Amino acid sequence: MAVGIFDSGLGGLTILDAVQARLPDVEFAYLADSANAPYGVRSADDIYDLTCAATQRLFDAGCDLVVLACNTASAAALRRMQEGWVPEGKRVLGVFVPLIEAMTERQWGDNSPPREVALKHVALFATPATVATRAFQRELAFRAIGVDVEAQACGGVVDAIEDGDFILAEALVRSHVDALKRKMPEPQAAILGCTHYPLMQDAFRDALGADVKVFSQADLVAESLADYLQRHPKMSGTGQGGFLTTGDPARVSTRATQFLRRPMSFTAA
């Protein structure tokens, strides 16, 4: 049995690492659409089509539940998929909601009206496509009122990480944080709204300063998934775990091994 984890590239490995640690008895099938990465500069229709194709590949592999470990896909495609595409008996979940629930101090499934929360000034760092959807602000508005969100599109960061150029990635992070602070000088919290960004978490923290609380998604998504599978144990699927990519398996395997600092072997999707 296996749960599907999908990302446009390798950023979702931060989610995979956390869910494997939290759920050691669950198999995971990870699919990286490396041939089409990054998604953050694509149109909403392109992201939707690519995400559906990748999710279907995981369904075909025996996964009944697929987690979109990609904020861009979650923002631009998830709602549309859930409303008219997901086949009966299958489920697709995103990564935004666990993060927002933690930020607003709500438990899973709390559907009470939006209320005031402690955080009033929040910085969102995400890909250009994620920022354009305003999906984070929309989901936040369902749960909280009076929160000022300033979004910063972080162009180039995902490309640098995928290329293994962490010196460039760090320089870009500092540039984007500087740009955000010109718009919101004193954020109380920062959302790393891309699954690649935890790989640069120290750079974000250093640039933002010690007084800014940084929310990253991996552990929050892992806890949310554990809760979901406890309530829906049959959604564990029937397929086998493994690592798939639409890109060059040898190159992706090398990069993935560098990211997680453990041997990883991808095969062609």
Catalytic residues: 70, 194
Q: Rounded to an integer, what distance in angstroms lies between the CA atom of residue 195 and that of residue 72?
A: 9
Q: Rounded to an integer, what distance in angstroms lies between the CA atom of residue 227 and that of residue 37?
A: 30
Structure tokens at 16: 């995979």
Angle at 47 between CA 132 and CA 217, to 5 degrees: 70
Quickly count: other Cβ atoms within 10 Å of residue 166's Cβ: 15
Contacts of 179 (CB under 8 A, 6+ apart): 152
DSSP calls for 190-233 = EEE-STTGGGGHHHHHHHH-TTSEEE-SHHHHHHHHHHHHHH-G
Contact by Cβ (8 Å): 67, 225: yes
